[in-house]
Structure 1
Amino acid sequence: ARQGGGATASRSAALVRPAAAPREPSATQEGEHPGGYADPDDPSEGPRTPQGSSEPLHTGSDGGAASPGTVTREEIIDRARTWLAAKVPYSMSAYRSDGYRQDCSGFVSMAWDLRSNQWTGSLASFGERITKDELQPGDMLLFHNAQDPEDGSHVTLFGGWADAAHTKYTAYEQTPPRTRSRTTPYAYWTNSSRYIPYRPKNLASGSAGPQSSAFPGAAAFGPGKAGAHVTRLGAMLVARGAGRYYRIGPGPRWTEADRRATA
């Protein structure tokens, strides 16, 4: 069985697939407890959901595993935003038309253009471990509980810092009930100390280096403009109190939210 965790899953199937069932927080409306727990005063309690294993894209063909594509940081965020705009429902058994599983690890597999469905126990092999100070948009924050994958395992995409002190960031994630992006405390709402930052190994040449702090000029901002500098500007504006203008957080493409925040 590709998707374990159900009452009908066979005992033998559980022995041949990766350990399943991360516990992932539910999406909420603004002002609600961000973890989606039954008891908002007890974040140690949360829904348990099964997790898919490593597998090729679910396209209906018999094609084997493909090598990851090459992506830029801007492309990673753009790919993540396609699911955000489509409000893709969270599911461990459903697949998008592109073949990616609609859970947290399938979402990162899609954004990183891995051309296969991975799970929290395998995603680290597609990245290079980095430090918090090295995080840039498109990197991931991964918590895989090897002792008990059902207990808290989850992964998010880092979309950029939301404050100058680097205590909050824009997280893109696939979590019930659908894809979301929101300002999140570093490294996450729960099990914060256990999340590890990774940079994708398949970044396009020249996109993995440190961000320049030089001002690129006013011509680099405005309608139709895009790039990491736009995300950085948005993060600076949020740090100065303009967060109310960003419904889903700063991103690499210039939007009306950036214009209003700048004004």
Structure 2
Amino acid sequence: MEAVFAVVALLFVLFLVLGAYVTVKVVGAAKRGVDRTLTQARRTVEDHTLRAKSFAQPGAQGELAQLRLKLRTSMRATQDALHAGVAEDESLKESIGLFERLSVHGHELDGELKRLEAEPDRAALAERLPGLRERTEQVVRSADALRWAARDRARRFADDDLDSLRAQIDMEAGALRHWTTEEPPATAPPPWPEAPAAETPAAQQTWPDTPSPTAEEPTRPAITPPAPRAAYPWEKKRRPESTT
């Protein structure tokens, strides 16, 4: 009886532990989902704010907003393209490693541009704009190169697969339409040359003729008449036919 209680208690504890584990997992997944949603919403709001600043604020402030918006758009598009393609092409892992190193410079540059938005010294800001513009172009160029290379690689694989599939389909279609395949016309065998007619002398003939009767050999009648049949005493004599 005590063993039964011990087993029941052990099962109860296991169920509690399992329930707690599942609860933690569900809460963690929900929290991550909420965090992703909040992050996405914050990014969307910030992007719209930067777009509005780039049109509304003239001068250096507007150009800073344009640089930040261009940098963030390129980096986010490259990140999405690489992470989406690595599931089918593992060779993109090296590209993701390079992008992560590039992201460090991108985040530093974005933070510097964001801090300069509140810079009151317009003259100093104007002096630093060419350098900031060049750094932004370098990061954006590198991100675009990685993104387009990954897309070109995926498209190349898709084209190769399509070419192979089309060749297989053409082969299968030809096999299904086997009756439409024109067979080469049958060539007649070349005629054998006729043997020249040999002049065989009368004394030498290939096939002997049927011997004809000669004068020395009497001609036999075609049918030999039968000998007169002997009469027997029990046979009646035939009466002469009447002429009347």
Q: TM-score, normalised by structure 2?
A: 0.21
- Rg larger in 1 or in 2? 2
Bigger helix fraction: 2
Bigger strand fraction: 1
Q: TM-score, normalised by structure 1?
A: 0.20
